[in-house]
Amino acid sequence: MKIAPSILNAPLDNLEKLLEELKDAYMIHLDVMDGVFVKNISFGKHFCEEIKRLSKLPLDIHLMVENPVDHLKDFLNLSPKFITVHIESNDVKKSIELIKKNGVGVGLAFNPETPIDQVKMFIKDVDLVLVMTVNPGFGGQKFIEKCLSKVDFLQLLKKENNFIVEVDGGVDDSNLNYCRDRGVDVSVVGSYLYKLKNKSEWLKANK
């Protein structure tokens, strides 16, 4: 299992130093929030551009926005590894088409209360399925263990479809191995990682 650090709750006083500490991660997870789909507002394309400039790691852009089509152009220009939109957002089909058209990996996210079987409508078009293990909008929440039943369902679909399973929210050392054992491919880790004295060593140990 690979680790994608989330920048949402990271200390940003020295961004260059932070990204150097994260260099052994799989990719950088960027939560873009519009204050509508979720109550919080995080950051936009200019901050993501700065991350791309300072880091060699691929970008994993997670759009927690009501109307992703309105935002896609800004982030497609960054050539990220993945852009993930929420199945609960508007114009999901059109968003997926635009992402694919631009040669970027398509991610589809599911909130904790959203039935995972809805993924079947888009399973042939997605490269990553993101299972939210907290309610989206704020970092530092407690991991919702029951969400891992969605991972079990996705494992069945992976037998005939090629996609990555990612979890996001509340991941730490108390549940990391559990995620790994259930077949999660990528875990997004945020608040827990930034409390560690040696982030680099932890990432190397979990590479």
Question: Which residues are catalytically annotated?
Answer: 31, 168
Q: What is the DSSP string of 160-191?
A: TS--EEEEESS--TTTHHHHHHTT-SEEEE-H
Given this model, what pLDDT does residue 200 score?
93
Q: How many domains does the chain have?
A: 1
Query: What are the pLDDT digits (tens) for 89-114?
Result: 999 999 999 999 999 999 999 999 99
pLDDT band at 78 (very low <50, low <70, confident <90, very high): very high
Give me the CATH number covering residue 79: 3.20.20.70
Q: What is the residue whose two structure tokens read 């790691």? A: 57
Pairing verdict, β 82-86 and 59-64: parallel
Domain that holds residue 13: 2-205
Q: What is the DSSP string of 57-79?
A: SPEEEEEE-S-GGGTHHHHHTT-
Query: What are the pLDDT digits (tens) for 33-68?
Result: 999 998 888 888 999 999 999 999 999 999 999 999
